[in-house]
Structure 1
Amino acid sequence: MTEEAADMGPGSLRARDVMTTGVVTVPPDTPAPALARLLADRGISSAPVTDAEGRLLGIVTEADLLRRLAGAEEKPAGWLRGFFSNPDREAARYARTHGAAARDIMTAKDLATVDEDTTAERCARLMEERRVKRLPVLRDGRLAGVVSRADLLRAVMEPPAKLGAADAEAAAARDARIRAALRKEMRAQPWTGGQYAFADVQDGVVALHGFARSDEVRRGLRVLAERIEGVERVEDRMVDAPVLWPSQYI
């Protein structure tokens, strides 16, 4: 359940100012051994589980994987314990400790999440209350980033105005550089139909707009944008070109 942002004053840092973007995510069908290798290789302690649209489904943590490993050593419960136990709770525990994929192992219920306007103070308090090390940040139900304890510590060590201003200036400069590189490359490639296709850049995300003559042009533009340094994601928002199309485009 997403926590509402507390009104801590205009000078407070928000989750959007301190969160880590470009978070490593996994699909729900990811096998448990692959999850363990991912966490070990990347030196991270958890990975959000998302669907194809980026909606948050749950989180797989080191603790979840260790719980699964410990569960392999458990013996069947005796009849007395089975008589007093809750069947639904026991079934859920069994699935999490014996599951083969992220969807069964992950923590999914009662996740602590925040939105981009949640203050850093509220994030810190929520971490303490829920005893978690990180909070997924949601934008319209989709994962936008993660606020970790390390992110909050960096916010404490630097004055809010300085940190926020530096981040904003760096992001604006990166977006401007990407826009310039896109315009230059699209002008150099005649197949792009530059007079009918254009790109917008916000926070490192390239959104392609305009008309596309074919799927090949769409794919080519996506690859072109992905090659530019600093681009985090490319979103195709183009529409198919009309049947009656100016001859200069063809």
Structure 2
Amino acid sequence: MRASDIMTTKIITAEPDMSIQHAAGMMVFAGISGMPVVDESGKLLGMITEGDLMHRAEIGTGVRQRAWWLEMVASTAELASQYVREHARKVKDVMSTNVTTVTESCPVGDIAEILERRKIKRVPVMRDGKIVGVVSRSNLIRALVTMAPEVPSSAENGDHAIREDVLASMKGQPWAMARENVIVENGVVHLWGPVVGAEEGHAIRVAAENTPGVKDVIVHFGQAPTE
């Protein structure tokens, strides 16, 4: 799955000379938390988000007076930048210009990693220097809901086949269970064996739960398999 499969193509954008109040109103009424800023030719200039509008003098959310020693160590440029963020009236003065973008062919997994690493909520999708879509966290969640593969019922897989699939799903993992510790009865997977750490136990259980045909997973860590 790639960016082109899940991106929003009806893009709401802001203009650099748009007022802060106008941009804030657009986000509120559209139910979005950020939008690209483009010029008249459609060139991407930056992004404006709720985070850029959090500290504003007119609503009393500006950064509070710092301790005197912090004021001393803060550079003039830093204090000037803070003043602009709190008092500027146009989008171009508060927007973020260091924008991460992706192409339409970018894998969804890479987009999720970018959003997490950069601590951002959306990325513009570009084609030939122009923005053609936006992928947000909500797009990823929708993809999870609408595009997840269906899991076949246990009737389609016998217990033997399910057991082999469970073992295969753990193959090569350092926390994988031994073959003799995995038993399947009527689609229910029983995991036996020695006590394992909490994280290893979660991984083993999830691997079993994600196996097609599994009805339930029951763990018996710390016990020997029953005959």
**TM-score, normalised by the number of residues in structure 1:** 0.53
Would you say the 8 A contact 2:16–2:39 is kept in 1?
yes
Counterpart of 2:107 in structure 1 is 119
Supply the RMSD in Å over aligned alpha carbons.
Answer: 2.5
Paired letter, 1:48: P
Alpha-carbon distance, 1:94 to partner:
1.9
Would you say the 8 A contact 1:27–1:50 is kept in 2?
yes
Where 1:143 maps in the other structure, the secondary structure is: strand
1:81 equivalent in alignment to 2:70: yes
Alpha-carbon distance, 1:68 to partner:
2.3
Q: Choose which of 97, 101, 108 in structure 1 pairs with 2:97.
A: 108
Would you say the 8 A contact 2:54–2:61 is kept in 1?
no
Would you say the 8 A contact 1:50–1:57 is kept in 2?
yes
Would you say the 8 A contact 1:72–1:98 is kept in 2?
no
Would you say the 8 A contact 2:19–2:90 is kept in 1?
yes
Bigger drift between 72-81 and 132-141 goes to 72-81
Using a 3 Å threshold, how does the CA distance of structure 1 residues 46 and 73 change in structure 2: closer, same or farther? closer
Matches within 5 A, 1:4-153: 13-69=1-57, 73-74=62-63, 80-109=69-98, 111-153=99-141
Tell me, in whole angstroms, the C-alpha distance in 2 between the residues paired with 1:79 and 1:128.
35
Would you say the 8 A contact 1:49–1:60 is kept in 2?
yes
Using a 3 Å threshold, how does the CA distance of structure 1 residues 51 and 157 change in structure 2: closer, same or farther? same
- Identity level (%): 36
Paired letter, 2:84: A
Aligned positions, number: 149
Where 1:108 maps in the other structure, the secondary structure is: coil
Counterpart of 2:162 in structure 1 is none
Would you say the 8 A contact 1:71–1:98 is kept in 2?
no
Where 2:40 maps in the other structure, the secondary structure is: coil
Using a 3 Å threshold, how does the CA distance of structure 1 residues 154 and 47 change in structure 2: closer, same or farther? same
Deviations 1:72-96 (A, max 9, x none): 6456667643432122232222212
Alpha-carbon distance, 1:16 to partner:
1.3
Tell me, in whole angstroms, the C-alpha distance in 2 between the residues paired with 1:32 and 1:72.
15
Tell me, in whole angstroms, the C-alpha distance in 2 between the residues paired with 1:67 and 1:75.
10
Where 1:22 maps in the other structure, the secondary structure is: coil
Alpha-carbon distance, 1:135 to partner:
1.0
Where 2:55 maps in the other structure, the secondary structure is: helix
The structure that has the greater radius of gyration is 2
Where 1:49 maps in the other structure, the secondary structure is: strand
Alpha-carbon distance, 1:49 to partner:
0.6
Alpha-carbon distance, 1:42 to partner:
1.4
Would you say the 8 A contact 2:18–2:90 is kept in 1?
yes
Counterpart of 1:176 in structure 2 is none
Paired letter, 2:8: T
Paired letter, 2:139: D
Tell me, in whole angstroms, the C-alpha distance in 2 between the residues paired with 1:160 and 1:73.
44
Tell me, in whole angstroms, the C-alpha distance in 1 between the residues paired with 2:147 and 2:89.
45
Using a 3 Å threshold, how does the CA distance of structure 1 residues 143 and 71 change in structure 2: closer, same or farther? farther
